[in-house]
Amino acid sequence: MFTPEYLIQQTFNGIVFGAMYALLALGMTVIYGILRLIHFAHGALITVGAFGFYLFFAVLGLPFPAAIVLIIGLGALMGVILDVVAYKKAVGGPEVSMLITSLGFYILIENLMKLIVSPQPYAFPTPELLDRIYSMPALTFRTIDIFIIATSIAIMVFFTLFVKRTKMGVAMRATAESGEAARMVGINIGRVISISFIIASAIAGITGFMWGAKYGQISYNMGFMAGVKAFVAIVIGGVGSIPGAMLGGFILGILEMFSVAFLPPGYAAYRDGIVFFILILILIVKPSGILGQKEVE
């Protein structure tokens, strides 16, 4: 059972899942950094992205690239809606009201989805090109796995460059450190918040496609565990750290795969429980996470 091939296969699977966790964690951590808000509703956006793809690709019959562009746009639009409808009103108030707003929005989106698509799971319409299986001596993979890894790495590289090199990116980091100081150097914080929501939500939109294609099945409540896992990834990497969120995502994916792979058969159903176990362990051993910084006052 513990052959090198098996280890390589499980590591590969872990990286594929980890890439998706990392993308969600990236968005959540950016929003946390700027608003000090644990954005629970973020997970719901992958449900919107996944069903959006179903609508554009399977129902409306649009070509694959068009459907992808549209779900990124749909994600961005959700970001605008969340920002304008919910958070613009709650920003500046007690942090707990933002938290409740976020939970409320998660519940709202999930129930809206349930109403629209019914509680039945749907088979995901993965394009044939991304559903091919290749077998090599050490590794069996589907083309969607390669798509997920390549796309998520591209997104992470672009995002890192954006945050490091552009004026808006630097303003985002400054606002994350101190909103008051940022305002006093002339940064329009409202705009920084809006742009963070738009970027994070657009990324969540395309992650919804990846999630659906990887699992092969989508349902109205798929965003819940996704959001929770992204949160665990953030804690592993260090709350508020962008590289930490990405690293945490990959670590979580690999840990999850290995724990499933090495547990006796029949225990695979505990997969999600193991995620929480990891969370508890991290909180006990290193609450600031791997790359976490202490709050600068």
Partner 1 sequence: MLKVEGIDVHYGIIPAVRELSLSVEKGQIATLVGANGAGKSTTLKAVMGALIPKRGTVLYKGEDVTGVPADKRVGMGIALVPEGRQIFSRLTVRENLNLGAYHRNDKKGIINDQEWIYGLFPVLKERGSQLAGTLSGGEQQMLALGRGLMSHPQLLMLDEPSLGLAPIVVVDIYKVIEEINRSGITILLVEQNINMAMKISSYAYIMETGKIRTEGKPDEVMKRENIMKVYLGE
- Choose one: 19-27, 109-117, 139-147, 163-171; the region binding partner 1 (CB under 8 A): 163-171
Task: Please name the residue that has the structure tokens 């519940």.
Answer: 107
Question: Which residues 246-275 are close enough to bind partner 1 by CB under 8 A?
Answer: none
**Phi, psi angle pair for 122, to nearest 5°:** -115, 145
3-state secondary structure of 96: helix
Residue 167 binds to partner 1 (criterion: CB under 8 A): yes
- Choose one: 108-116, 170-178, 261-269, 279-287; the region binding partner 1 (CB under 8 A): 170-178
**To the nearest whole angstrom, how small is the minimum distance from the Cβ of residue 292 to partner 1?**
12
Q: Are strands 217-218 and 133-135 parallel, antiparallel or unpaired?
A: unpaired
Residue 71 binds to partner 1 (criterion: CB under 8 A): no
Give me the 183-212 binding string for partner 1, x by CB under 8 A, dash otherwise. xxxxxxx-----------------------
Query: CA nearest 256: which of 283, 228, 284?
Result: 228
Name every residue whose Cβ is closer than 8 Å to that of residue 95 and which is 6 or more positions away in sequence: 36, 37
Residue 269 carries which DSSP code?
Answer: G
- Choose one: 98-106, 168-176, 206-214, 279-287; the region binding partner 1 (CB under 8 A): 168-176
Please tell me the distance from the alpha carbon of residue 96 to that of residue 16, in angstroms, as a whole number. 34
Q: Which is nearer to partner 1, 128 or 180 (CB)?
A: 180
**To the nearest whole angstrom, how small is the minimum distance from the Cβ of residue 285 to partner 1?**
24
Residue 294 binds to partner 1 (criterion: CB under 8 A): no
Please tell me the distance from the alpha carbon of residue 296 to that of residue 25, in angstroms, as a whole number. 22
Number of residues that bind partner 1 (CB under 8 A): 19
**To the nearest whole angstrom, how small is the minimum distance from the Cβ of residue 152 to partner 1?**
25
Number of other CB atoms surrounding residue 218 within 10 Å: 27
Query: CA nearest 68: which of 127, 114, 25?
Result: 127
Q: Are 34 and 92 in contact (CB under 8 A)?
A: no
Q: Which is nearer to partner 1, 152 or 175 (CB)?
A: 175
Return the structure tokens found at 128: 């044939």
According to CB under 8 A, which one of 177, 215, 228, 290 is a site residue for partner 1? 177
According to CB under 8 A, which one of 170, 228, 260, 261 is a site residue for partner 1? 170
Residues that bind partner 1 (CB under 8 A): 167, 170-171, 173-174, 177-178, 180-189, 293, 296
